[in-house]
Structure 1
Amino acid sequence: MVLLPDEGEDMWHTYNIVMEGDRLRASTIRKVQQASVTGSSTSSRVRTTITIQVEAITFDTGACMLRVKGRNVEENQYIKMGAYHTVDLELNRKFTIFKEQWDSVTIERVETACDPAAHADLAAVVMQEGLAFVCLITSAMTVDRAKIVYNIPKKGKADDTQRKKAITKYYDQVMTAILRHLNFDVVKAVVIASPGFVKDQFFDHMMKNAVQTDNKLLLENKSKFVLVHSSSGFKHSLREVLEDPAVAMRLSDTKAAGETKALQQFMSLLASDPDRAYYGIKHVERANDSQAIETLLVSDTLFRSKDLAERQRYVRLVDSVKENGGEVRIFSSLHVSGEQLDQMTGVAALLRFPMPEIEEEDHSLDSDSE
């Protein structure tokens, strides 16, 4: 399959598509030593196409960069057969992936990456006094775009004028980060979240500034801002922010919202009707054997397992749930909802009907082993 990534998020999808043992053909730069007639040698950098057997893949979330390391498996005038080489996959430069088998989960990911409608269009600013994170939330990941830390004197420790000046400078830095990192042609909503009144005071400051400086970008997009409460200005507060009903309404057409809602349903069912909510591969497979799964929640971490048999086990589970008419939601481990699912083994299921026998079987096995 030939792929051409045209934005950072495509690199995250590629990270989930390329596996150890696959072959990757891509354009790369290689340093070449050339000997002259006199015996001296010069080195130059040449661009060449290489095919490697993949041995290691690393993904840099901040830069959305992907590095793939492996051995050369095709004749090349600059690189010996079997020599190690690391390829940096680049935006707008195509590459080819060869697999022994393309499973359904991988093909679905390729289709999702190629569907522009699947790209969420939400930004979030999580803040508290002196701290703010500006994030982009796409269908596959939450990307930090800016972190603002500003020292604001505490009340009573400095005179009021000094404190007000510091707060104004802090607000200006957050506003600059919003203007620099958010593309309002794409972003449909910007959530501003904070404890207390920080979000409201910041928003008032930003809009007053926009009027004074005639900043048309902010004035024309004023309606896109949604102000919600969060327990802190740290990034982990995003989870509660995404669960807020006002935000959920704005997000109703995005994948991130669907995942957050599915996880919320699972957690509330686990508390109110635990016989219809199970997590852990053994319990979930047991429920699937009875065609009981209504919604399967599974983390993309499990499909990156180095153990081929384990990877295939989860692919089979996904295919089986779909065949039985169930819904499958694959969570991104770069989303706050995905992180939460990973903490619960990475796989969970909401059942169509209660299955108390799953829990009972476990208890009987425990008592047998005692």
Structure 2
Amino acid sequence: MKVLHQDRQAGEIKMRVETLDDLWHLYNIISIGDIIISVTFRRDEAKTDKIRAERAEKKRMVLGIKAEKVEFLETDSRLRVLGTIVEGPQDLGAHHTLILGEGDVLTVRKENWTPAVLERVRRAVEDSNKPKLLFVALENDEAVIAMARQFGIQEIAHIYAPSSGKMYEQKDGGNFYGEIVEKVKQSAEPGVPIVILGPGFAKEALLTLGKEKEPDVFKNSFIYHTGQAGMAGIQELMKTGMGAEVVQGSRAAMETSVVEKVLEEIAKDGLVSYGPADVERAADMGAVDTLLVLDTVVRQNRIEPLMARVENSRGKVIVVSERFEAGKKLESIGGVAALLRFRLPS
């Protein structure tokens, strides 16, 4: 994300979307009632010849809409903002949908930019420079290729060997390792490390072939042994801290680590509170060292005062993505948890 202009008096921030991750950040930044201004396309219905069957041609224009619903479309790499037109050359009061993707520029106007939302903007800018990871988790007859993004682990492909007896998603009779190498080549981005993991020796065979067929793509590759393959193997790798020199600094690794720390403290009745009521009590006593909040809870706009109190007492606030496995675990204990500086009195 790139911030192009800020006007605090008008309550506006102008931004350019640079990655799919930026759309996820915008999904968490935009609230119902915000005014979103961007270039879009709309038909000029007033000039439509009602006798003719064809509809008027869509024209490019700048519209501002008051957001009523926001949808993040991961598979389409799009963000949809649905609402009514409040600014523009035509159709004021009519409904319209802004469809935003990589490269688009938009202005978000809010009545109140809270510290938590401004922090999300700052994080979106910083996250552009943080490492992404391409995972290949495989065993002898099955492989999953996935990308660690800021919003979660995005599965890119699931490939089966013809001999596995399962539906083979690639061309019939294709070479298993060759298909994986080709898909990695299509999915890899410059500077993004490739982490190859799983049980057995399939990962070594893949890396050997990858360096032979596509040496430039596989030159920044790392191998790790895990007890499982697939998405479960990726979660195992991050949970246990294996490959820390590669995954360190990624959002996925950080959120996984801190949620696992919370669960460890719960298991040993340690320095932790979880659930809204207990965490509120800890924050009131200035005991919160690190506050973890699920991003769906933040979007409900009920947690801002708690986050502000923790930050005012020099605590750290981490917003955890619902799409990480760590987010699902945090949701299971109420969506809010805190690592404490000291034990609370009974």
Asked whether the two chains share a fold, i.e. TM above 0.5, the reply is yes
How far apart, CA to CA, are the structure 1 residues paired with 2:154 and 2:185? 16
Q: How many residues were matched structurally?
A: 326
> Against the structure 1 CA distance between its residues 84 and 230, is the aligned structure 2 distance closer, same or farther, given a 3 Å change threshold?
farther
Secondary structure (helix, strand or coil) at the match of 2:303 reads helix
With 15-24 and 238-247 compared, the bigger mean Cα shift is at 238-247
Q: Which runs of 5+ in 1 are unaligned?
A: 155-165, 306-310, 358-370
Q: Say whether 1:328 aligns with 2:327.
A: no
Deviation at 1:69, TM superposition (A): 0.7
Note if 1:186 corresponds to 2:191. Answer: yes
CA shift, 1:56, in A, is 0.9
- Alpha-carbon displacement from aligned partner over 1:278-330 (angstroms, at most 9, x marks no partner): 2111011111111111111111111112xxxxx1x411111211211222221
In 2, Cα distance between the equivalents of 1:291 and 1:83?
48
The alpha carbon displacement at 1:178 in A equals 0.9
Q: Which protein is richer in helix relative to its size?
A: 1
Q: How many Å apart are 1:172 and its aligned residue? A: 1.1
1:48 aligns with 2:61: yes
For normalisation by structure 1, the TM-score amounts to 0.81
Match of 1:363 in 2: none
Q: CA deviation at 1:356?
A: 5.4
Do the aligned residues in 2 keep the contact of 1:19 with 1:304 (CA within 8 Å)? yes
Q: How far 1:65 moved relative to its partner? A: 0.8
Alpha-carbon separation, structure 2, partners of 1:126 and 1:153: 16
Residues 196 and 221, structure 2, Cα contact 8 Å, conserved in 1 = no
Tell me what 2:22 maps to.
Answer: 10
Contact 2:144/2:159, CA 8 A, preserved across alignment: yes
Q: Distance in 1 between matches of 2:26 and 2:73?
A: 12
2:178 is the alignment partner of 1:172: yes
2:126 to 100, 115, 119: 115
1:298 is matched with which residue: 293, 296, 299?
293
- Unpaired segments of 5 or more residues in structure 2? 1-12, 166-171
Q: How high is the TM-score relative to the length of structure 2?
A: 0.86
C-alpha displacement of 1:39: 5.8
Q: Which letter maps to 2:86?
A: V
Report 1:210-221 matches (<5 A).
210=212, 213=213, 215-218=214-217, 221=219
Matched letter for residue 329 of structure 2: Q
Q: Tell me, yes or no, if structure 1 residue 20 matches structure 2 residue 15.
A: no
Q: What is the distance in 2 between the residues matched to 1:13 and 1:191?
A: 25
Cα distance per residue 1:144-193 (max 9 Å; x no partner): 22222343247xxxxxxxxxxx998111111111111011x321x32222
Q: What's the CA shift for 1:116?
A: 5.3
Q: Name the larger-Rg structure.
A: 1
Return the offset for 1:131.
2.6
Q: Contact 2:203/2:223 (CA < 8 Å) preserved in 1?
A: no
Return the alpha-carbon distance in structure 1 between the equivalents of residues 122 and 89 of structure 2: 32
CA 1:41–1:255 in structure 2 vs 1: closer, same or farther (change >3 Å)?
closer
Deviation at 1:109, TM superposition (A): 1.0
Change (3 A) 1:106 1:230: farther
Tell me whether 1:229 sits opposite 2:234 in the alignment: no
- CA shift digits 1:99-123 (9 cap, x unpaired): 1111111111111111256532222
Alignment equivalent of 2:111, drawn from 100, 105, 109: 100
Give RMSD over aligned pairs: 2.4
**Secondary structure of 1:85's aligned partner:** strand
1:265 pairs with one of 244, 261, 264: 261
